[in-house]
């Protein structure tokens, strides 16, 4: 009646030269995911995962820190060139992009894939401050 030791599943070291970066920047957080050409996740990070809480998650600096962390994880898999897809209206869009550029990646294309409604849902009420 011995317990079997749990197997720790390590992430395989893939050698991927080019990949796609999805930057999802909302009003509350910035999430960065690096995938290969099939869409399988290589590395991910977010402002909340970096220890920022509350309103600090929505700052451009938090997005920069999250992008730098995600870039460090992706370098271990051999990623060199990136296609960037930016989605959302948040404040961390440009700073996350700059952090990826300063990490030494070759950015081949930048696309904005923010969904734009053709007069779809009613927007939320305006804030009166």
pTM confidence score: 0.82
Q: Beta 81-87 vs 106-112: how paired, if at all? A: parallel
Q: Beta 30-35 vs 18-25: how paired, if at all? A: antiparallel
pLDDT at 11 exceeding the cut of 70: no
Over residues 37-58, the pLDDT tens digits come to 899 999 999 999 999 999 999 9
Per-residue model confidence (pLDDT) at position 16: 74
- The three-class DSSP label of residue 61 is helix
| Domains along the chain with CATH numbers | 18-112 (3.30.420.80)
- The phi and psi torsions of 58 (rounded to 5 degrees) equal -90, 5
Residue 17 — pLDDT band, cuts 50, 70, 90?
confident
């Amino acid at each position: 009646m011995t317990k079997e030791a749990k197997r720790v599943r390590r992430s395989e070291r893939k050698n991927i030269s080019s990949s796609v970066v999805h930057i999802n920047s909302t009003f509350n957080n910035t999430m960065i995911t690096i995938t290969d050409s099939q869409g399988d996740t290589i590395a991910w990070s977010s402002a909340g995962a970096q220890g920022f809480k509350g309103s600090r998650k929505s700052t451009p600096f938090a997005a920069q820190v999250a992008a730098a962390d995600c870039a460090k994880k992706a370098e271990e898999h051999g990623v060199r060139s990136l296609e960037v897809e930016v989605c959302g209206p948040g404040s961390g869009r440009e700073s996350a992009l700059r952090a990826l550029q300063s990490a030494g990646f070759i950015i081949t294309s930048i696309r904005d894939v923010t969904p734009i409604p053709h007069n779809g849902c009613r927007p939320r009420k305006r804030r009166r401050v």
